[in-house]
């Protein structure tokens, strides 16, 4: 059996200065992360909701809601690690204030290498999110996969799925935008010890499409496997 490659971990950068965001984006990608950028606080919250990143790099001065408010809203529903980008001493004091629970900060101007090192350090010490009560993933406009409750909904309506179908959907949802081979899916959902046929995956994908409807953004990647979103 082939070893499963660990899915790339996603970092969301919330920073309205495109030069800084692009620079960090480049260094984080080089370090093997999948990177998504948001130029406003609201957009950052959306991306977090949709993509379930491993960490958020968060600037404080943003055009809509500031980084403190973004952090507060994130903290209201999860303990997702946050690395603040700060520009002024006054900001550092607030970041360090216990109320926000920031995981770390770097002060501008910073070296992108330092940011990457901090990100890695935070992720190393970060255990799976035990405080997170809402392990849900949004897919497209209509679908929500609630991993904690093991429930999939379409437009608010619950869609009953068999265990493997749900596990397959949850795995897709956590790896949105990434093409997954049949073998990777077998290893992740059926387990590395499962000696089955690749066609098992196709059968379950067909079932998922049938149950969840045509709007599910699940694409066949010819010659490879499947990709959600
Ligand atoms: Ca800014």
Span 196-215, pLDDT tens digits: 677 888 988 998 999 998 88
What is the CATH architecture of 7-125? 3-Layer(aba) Sandwich (3.40)
> Same fold for the domain at 7-125 and the one at 130-228?
no
Give the domain ranges of the chain. Answer: 7-125, 130-228
Model pLDDT, residue 13: 98
In the structure, what pLDDT confidence band is assigned to residue 22 with cuts at 50, 70 and 90?
A: very high
Gap from CA of 137 to ligand 1 centroid (Å): 28
For the chain, give the longest Cα–Cα distance.
60
Mean pLDDT of the chain: 84
Gap from CA of 195 to ligand 1 centroid (Å): 52
Contacts of 7 (CB under 8 A, 6+ apart): 174, 175, 178
Model pLDDT, residue 25: 97
Average pLDDT over residues 163-186: 88
Residue 226 near residue 179, CB atoms below 8 Å = yes
Q: Is residue 43 predicted with pLDDT exceeding 80?
A: yes
Gap from CA of 175 to ligand 1 centroid (Å): 29
Residue with tokens 């900060």: 105
Q: What is the pLDDT of residues 64-79, one digit of tens each?
A: 999 999 998 987 777 7
Gap from CA of 98 to ligand 1 centroid (Å): 22
Gap from CA of 41 to ligand 1 centroid (Å): 10
Gap from CA of 201 to ligand 1 centroid (Å): 45
Cross-strand pairs, 158: 153
Gap from CA of 70 to ligand 1 centroid (Å): 13
Gap from CA of 59 to ligand 1 centroid (Å): 6
Gap from CA of 143 to ligand 1 centroid (Å): 33
Ion ligand 1: residue ranges with CB closer than 5 A: 16, 59, 61
> What are the b/e assignments for 194-227, b being 16+ CB within 10 Å?
eeeeeebbeebbeebeebbeeebbbeeeeeebbb
Tokens of 96: 């360090």
pLDDT above 90 as % of the chain: 40
Gap from CA of 84 to ligand 1 centroid (Å): 11
Q: Of 148, 175, 147, 168, nearest to 211 (Cα)?
A: 168
Tokens of 222: 């010819």
Gap from CA of 8 to ligand 1 centroid (Å): 27
CA distance 7 to 121: 19
Q: Is 105 helix (H, G, I), strand (E, B) or coil?
A: strand
In the structure, what pLDDT confidence band is assigned to residue 7 with cuts at 50, 70 and 90?
A: low
List the single range of 25-29, 176-180, 195-199 with lowest mean pLDDT. Answer: 195-199
In the structure, what pLDDT confidence band is assigned to residue 38 with cuts at 50, 70 and 90?
A: very high
Q: Is 43 helix (H, G, I), strand (E, B) or coil?
A: helix
Higher pLDDT, residue 131 or 149? 149
Q: What is the pLDDT of residues 85-139, one digit of tens each?
A: 988 777 776 666 545 666 788 888 889 998 998 898 888 765 444 444 457 888 8
Q: Is residue 227 predicted with pLDDT exceeding 50?
A: yes
Contacts of 133 (CB under 8 A, 6+ apart): 77, 78, 148
DSSP percent split of the chain into helix, strand, coil, nearest 5: 40, 20, 40
What is the CATH architecture of 130-228? Orthogonal Bundle (1.10)
Model pLDDT, residue 99: 57
| pTM greater than 0.85 (yes/no) | no
């Amino acid at each position: 059996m082939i070893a499963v490659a660990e899915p790339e971990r996603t970092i969301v950068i919330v920073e309205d200065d495109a030069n800084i965001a692009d620079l960090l984006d480049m260094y984080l990608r080089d370090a093997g992360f999948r990177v998504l950028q948001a130029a406003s606080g609201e957009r950052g919250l959306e991306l977090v909701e949709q993509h379930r990143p491993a960490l958020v790099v968060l600037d404080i001065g943003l055009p809509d809601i500031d980084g403190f408010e973004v952090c507060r809203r994130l903290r209201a529903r999860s303990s997702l690690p946050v690395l603040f980008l700060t520009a002024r001493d006054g900001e550092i004091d607030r970041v360090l204030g216990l109320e926000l629970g920031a995981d770390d900060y770097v002060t501008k101007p910073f070296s992108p290498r330092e940011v990457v090192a901090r990100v890695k350090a935070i992720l190393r010490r970060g255990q799976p999110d035990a405080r997170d009560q809402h392990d849900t993933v949004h897919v497209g406009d209509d679908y929500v996969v609630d991993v904690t409750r093991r429930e999939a909904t379409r437009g608010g309506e619950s869609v009953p799925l068999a265990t493997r179908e749900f596990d397959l959907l949850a795995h897709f949802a956590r790896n949105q935008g990434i093409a997954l081979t049949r073998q990777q899916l077998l290893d992740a959902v059926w387990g590395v010890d499962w000696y089955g046929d690749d066609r098992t995956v196709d059968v379950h994908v067909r079932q998922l499409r049938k149950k969840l409807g045509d709007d599910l953004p699940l694409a066949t990647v010819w010659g490879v496997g499947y990709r959600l979103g």
